[in-house]
């Protein structure tokens, strides 16, 4: 590849050819296609004359057949040249993306490297009198990590290697396409072996041929088999599959995180471009955020076909009325905007990965999973399971919760790498069916499958996995533990704001866990945990046997019997609340610090009061209600 000298100033050199040069070649192919089309048209007018001038005998037949073959080859040339132009433009997109990634890496390196080097200069033994300077250097390192988005230079180097692989694969895929096209339009009697040479290049085999090569008759569904197939491919073959079917490979367990992210970002970019064009075609300025989307005027909504009006009286497609079609498309635009915003939650340059992106699933509520930090290389991985009314269009908030835990976990143990996944991976209930466990039972095996797959693609021998389940998500996790073997794939489970663990479980043992593997955060004024008992046993009860940690918020109001607001404050990183601080210790494998940090709480106790003048009454006593909440908890 010819180096692009316009980018990559710093530790990391630019990768690949110059985008401008590739663009120039693509433009040359465009001009060549136009010229070839003109030649083909002129030659097409000549061919009938061959038949007229030399119409009889073997020589005439041979001449005519030869002219017909040349005409056919010339007719295919313009399309092949245009396809070559598209392949070059795709490669240019990969180059631009790679150059941007390298620039961000160099910016992050300039921030992190000096801070890391200052800490390393102290060595393994801190000399007397140097303690204050060392503590200050460590503090600066934490700030540099937060600002740069990386924990150490080794992680940056790994990211750079991934960029190199992607750009190299893009180049090879482009080269394979160009060779394939040149073979397809070779004139009769051309260079012998040209087609054979083309078919032998990487990226030339179809998906079916690649699968058959490894003994698969169809696409495998087991993550282990998917990984075996993926590992058998060359970089160019992977790039070819990712480019041709990004929505398949980006959402398939067993495909590594970096490749899934690449595919799903491609799909997300395609969706955003398609949705924006729809707005432009209907005379509406495309929104750039979910807030702008929600503030669309009535006139704009009528133009888009979202509300009744004279402008939507046109034929729809796919058998859908215009308004229904528009609502589905525009709602998916909202999903894409929310996903895009959630990808930037942790700051510019921070490694964020789009592990799943299927906005059309669950009747348009969507499946999306965003990882903050790479789960394939992290020491610790936490999967955050949301609850009531979660959907892809709410990824901003779901991502904000996961990002808050990610940042606090990094402060809790910066020596280890922790990845936190915002998992919108099931059809969460709405208010009208939240009292049912049906959605939880449907979502439970989906959760188990995604958690199990983390072990398959992980690069290390072991990984510490935690499921952090909020609200109805804890019911989903509870059923996953009881019925689908989740306990075999996790080291610990955290339940916050739980309305019940679902099923028939009455103790931690019924969840196939132990006291030191199930942790519960339950605010004393959270209405969901204190008055809503239709979804199974309350895991915060003392007799359930879990470890309860402090989860009160300084904004609670004891004058009210319960508060809806308290149900959504377990990830509060503004006040640096008790729950977030405790969860960071748990997901980094340091649950033993809960007692040391004074974060253990006593479980609730329920007993029956017999009233001689009325029916027996169940009374629940929560010791946390009498304690003053604290804030400012930060590792």
More confident residue, 204 or 423: 423
* Alpha carbon distance 529, 623 (integer Å): 14
Q: Read off the pTM.
A: 0.74
CATH code, 343-626: 3.40.50.1820
pLDDT in tens, 27-67: 776 776 676 666 555 655 555 665 566 556 565 556 555 55
Domain ranges of the chain: 19-204, 343-626
What is the pLDDT at residue 195? 34
For 398-418, what is the mean pLDDT? Answer: 92
630, two tokens: 């604290």
- CB of 417 closer than 8 Å to CB of 151: yes
pLDDT in tens, 145-191: 877 878 888 888 888 888 888 888 778 777 777 776 665 555 444 33
Beta strands 464-470; 492-496: pairing state: parallel
For 270-278, what is the mean pLDDT? Answer: 89
Confidence of residue 4 (pLDDT cuts 50, 70, 90): very low
* Alpha carbon distance 308, 298 (integer Å): 10
Output the CA torsion sign for 281, 287, 290, 294.
negative
Cα–Cα distances in angstroms (integers) from residue 133 to residues 56, 128, 355, in the given order: 99, 11, 41
Q: How far is CA 324 from the centre of its chain?
A: 28
What is the pLDDT at residue 446? 97
* 142 has a pLDDT exceeding 90: no
* 231 has a pLDDT exceeding 80: yes
Are the folds of 19-204 and 343-626 the same?
no
Helix axes of 472-483 and 438-457: crossing angle, nearest 10 degrees: 70
What is the pLDDT at residue 192? 34
pLDDT in tens, 581-629: 999 999 999 999 999 999 999 999 987 777 776 677 777 889 999 999 9
What is the pLDDT at residue 204? 59
Instruction: End-to-end CA distance of the chain: give it in Å, rounded.
Output: 46
For 61-75, what is the mean pLDDT? Answer: 57
What is the pLDDT at residue 191? 36
- CB of 439 closer than 8 Å to CB of 427: yes
pLDDT in tens, 286-311: 998 888 988 888 888 888 887 665 44
Least confident range of 203-207, 211-215, 456-460: 203-207
Q: How wide is the angle at C-alpha 480 spanned by C-alphas 474 and 484, nearest 5°?
A: 175
What is the pLDDT at residue 380? 97
What is the pLDDT at residue 170? 79
471, two tokens: 């609200």
Q: How many other β-carbons are positioned within 10 Å of the β-carbon of residue 82?
A: 18
Q: Which CATH number fits domain 19-204: 1.20.1300, 3.30.2000, 1.20.1270, 1.10.10?
A: 1.20.1270
Task: Say what percent of the chain tops pLDDT 90.
Answer: 43
């Amino acid at each position: 590849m010819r180096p692009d000298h316009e980018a990559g100033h710093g530790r990391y050199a630019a990768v690949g050819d110059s985008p401008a040069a590739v663009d120039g070649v693509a433009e040359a192919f465009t001009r060549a296609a136009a010229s070839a089309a003109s030649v083909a048209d002129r030659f097409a007018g000549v061919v009938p004359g061959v038949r007229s001038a030399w119409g009889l005998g073997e020589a005439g037949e041979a001449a005519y057949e030869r002219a017909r073959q040349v005409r056919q080859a010339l007719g295919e040339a313009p399309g092949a040249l245009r396809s070559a132009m598209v392949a070059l433009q795709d490669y240019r997109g990969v180059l631009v993306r790679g150059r941007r990634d390298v620039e961000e890496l160099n910016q992050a390196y300039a921030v992190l490297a000096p801070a890391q080097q200052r800490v390393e200069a102290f060595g393994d033994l801190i000399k007397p009198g140097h303690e204050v300077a060392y503590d200050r250097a460590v503090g600066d390192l934490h700030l540099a990590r937060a600002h740069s988005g990386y924990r150490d230079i080794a992680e940056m180097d790994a990211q750079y290697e991934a960029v190199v692989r992607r750009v190299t694969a893009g180049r090879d895929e482009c080269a394979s396409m160009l060779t394939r096209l040149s073979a397809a339009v070779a004139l009769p009697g051309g260079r012998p072996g040209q087609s054979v040479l083309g078919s032998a290049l990487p990226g030339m085999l179809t998906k079916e041929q690649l699968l058959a090569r490894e003994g698969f008759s169809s696409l495998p569904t087991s993550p282990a088999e998917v990984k075996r197939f993926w590992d058998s491919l060359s970089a160019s073959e992977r790039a070819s599959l990712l480019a041709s079917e990004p929505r398949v490979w980006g959402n398939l367990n067993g495909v590594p995180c970096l490749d899934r992210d690449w595919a799903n970002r491609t799909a997300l970019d395609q969706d955003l471009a398609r949705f924006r064009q729809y707005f432009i075609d209907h005379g509406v300025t495309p929104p750039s955020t979910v807030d702008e989307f929600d503030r669309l005027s009535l006139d704009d909504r009528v133009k888009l076909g979202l509300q009744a009006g004279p402008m939507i009286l046109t034929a729809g497609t796919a058998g859908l009325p215009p308004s229904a079609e528009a609502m589905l498309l525009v709602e998916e635009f909202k999903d894409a905007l929310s996903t895009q915003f959630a990808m930037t939650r942790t700051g510019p340059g921070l490694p964020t990965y789009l592990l799943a992106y299927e906005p059309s699933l669950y009747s348009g509520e969507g499946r999306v999973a965003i990882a903050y930090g790479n789960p394939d290389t992290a020491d610790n991985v936490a999967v955050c399971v949301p609850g009531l009314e979660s959907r892809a269009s709410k990824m901003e908030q779901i991502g904000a919760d996961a990002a808050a835990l990610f940042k606090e976990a990094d402060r809790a143990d910066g020596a280890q790498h922790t990845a936190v996944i915002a998992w919108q991976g099931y059809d969460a209930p709405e208010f009208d069916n939240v009292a049912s466990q049906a959605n939880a039972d449907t979502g439970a095996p989906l959760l188990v499958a995604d958690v199990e797959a983390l072990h398959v693609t992980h690069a290390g021998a072991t990984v510490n996995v935690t499921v952090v389940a909020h609200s109805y998500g804890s019911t989903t996790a509870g059923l996953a533990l009881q019925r689908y073997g989740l306990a075999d794939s996790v080291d610990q489970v955290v339940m916050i704001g739980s309305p019940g663990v679902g099923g028939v479980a009455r103790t931690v043992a019924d969840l196939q866990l132990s006291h030191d593997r199930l942790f519960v955060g339950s605010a004393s004024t959270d209405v969901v945990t204190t008055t809503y008992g239709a979804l199974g046993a309350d895991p915060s009860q003392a007799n359930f046997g879990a470890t309860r940690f402090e989860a009160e918020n300084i904004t609670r109001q004891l004058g009210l019997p319960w508060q809806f607001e308290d149900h959504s404050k377990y990830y509060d990183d503004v006040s640096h609340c008790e729950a977030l601080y405790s969860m960071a210790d748990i997901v980094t494998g340091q649950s033993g610090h809960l007692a040391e940090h004074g974060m253990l709480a006593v479980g609730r106790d329920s007993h029956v009061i017999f009233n001689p003048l009325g029916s027996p009454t169940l009374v629940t006593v929560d010791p946390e209600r009498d304690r003053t909440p604290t804030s400012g908890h930060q590792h």
